[in-house]
Amino acid sequence: MKRILTIQDISCVGQCSTTVALPLVSACGVECAILPSAVLSNHTGGFSSWTYADLTGELSNVERKWQELGITFDAFYTGYVSESQIDPILSIMSSCAAPGAIRIVDPAMADNGRLYAGFADDFPVKMARLCNGADYILPNLTEAALLVGDEPHLEGYTRDDIEFLITKLHGLGAKNVVLTGVSFNPGELGSAVSDCQKVEYDFNPRIDRMSHGTGDIYASVFAGALMRGRTALEAAALAADVVCEAIKATDSDHWYGVSFERAIPFLAKEFTEDCPA
């Protein structure tokens, strides 16, 4: 069984970040270790207030203990982290890596044309350092634009725009790019997957609902599926399918997230035949 370490915050209420990553990676049949970057009472999208406990100081302590115990990981998957955590995370990715370990970076920092609250304008430059050398990065369109120093296109992207943006993202040092939120017609939404040689696309029918936490669901399923031997395009397609299943299973008055728990059987069934009896 492969072991993946996810490094991101714990929002105690809100169906996002670590509370999504741990069950979904596990449902793929992959051991999921966690390293919380912060603890919040609830996520920051739509709630009027929240608590925030920064855990930057613990990252190096945990790293030293893992080195002492000889604990290593086959993959690293990062989500929402702060500027001060970039260097400690890069150190952990180096010192605690099993042979051939891969790095999956979800540069969770922006959406809908702007940075999340609490991030300084120069944060994308810091996040770009984490993307440099990553085996896979999973930005949405806003994050992708900010990472390469562009203004996000609020009016939409053409296919040429998307592929030029992907070229710029590879220029940051990312080996594979999975760009989410791609759409060339109003009825579809999907992703563009690039290995620096070719760009492939996956689309699903658009569901007209804005939901918190869907990016975390997508990245978690992608990471788990990749560790189970799926190609990047297959992992991206499965991740999108799980997001769609979760959205469709969510009650209309459930505003703070999506009921991804109801999509876990759908995800687990994908890997049932791969598991030994």
Residue 117 confidence class, pLDDT cut points 50, 70, 90: confident
Give the DSSP H or E segment for 37: strand 31-40
Q: Which of 154, 150, 25 is nearest to 77 (CA)?
A: 25
Beta strands 114-115 and 52-54: pairing type?
unpaired
Per-residue model confidence (pLDDT) at position 246: 97
Percent of the chain predicted with pLDDT > 70: 98
14-18, 159-163, 184-188, 269-273: the lowest-pLDDT one: 269-273
Give domain status of residue 169, yes or no: yes
What residues contact 88, with CB distance under 8 A and at least 6 apart? 56, 59, 60, 63
d(CA 42, CA 120): 21
Give domain status of residue 274, yes or no: no
Beta strands 114-115 and 110-111: pairing type?
antiparallel
Give domain status of residue 206, yes or no: yes
Mean pLDDT over 207-219 rounds to 93
Q: Where are the alpha helices (DSSP H) in the chain?
A: 18-27, 56-69, 86-95, 123-131, 141-147, 159-171, 214-227, 232-248, 264-272
Give domain status of residue 226, yes or no: yes
For the chain, the straight-line distance linking the first and the last C-alpha, in angstroms and rounded, comes to: 14
Give domain status of residue 277, yes or no: no
Per-residue model confidence (pLDDT) at position 273: 65
Per-residue model confidence (pLDDT) at position 274: 63
With 90 as the cut, is the pLDDT of residue 141 above it? yes
Per-residue model confidence (pLDDT) at position 277: 42
Give domain status of residue 272, yes or no: no
Which CATH number is 215's domain given?
Answer: 3.40.1190.20
Give domain status of residue 49, yes or no: yes
Count of domains observed in the chain: 1
pLDDT tens-digit readout, 47-70 = 999 999 999 999 999 999 999 999
Give domain status of residue 56, yes or no: yes
Per-residue model confidence (pLDDT) at position 44: 87
Per-residue model confidence (pLDDT) at position 263: 97
Q: Which residue has the tokens 């690039």?
A: 194
Q: Is the dihedral of CA 239, 244, 249, 253 positive or negative?
A: positive
As to burial, measured by CB atoms within 10 angstroms (0-12 exposed, 13-18 middle, 19+ buried), residue 259 is middle
- The parent domain of residue 34 ranges over 3-264
Beta bridge partner(s), residue 115: 110
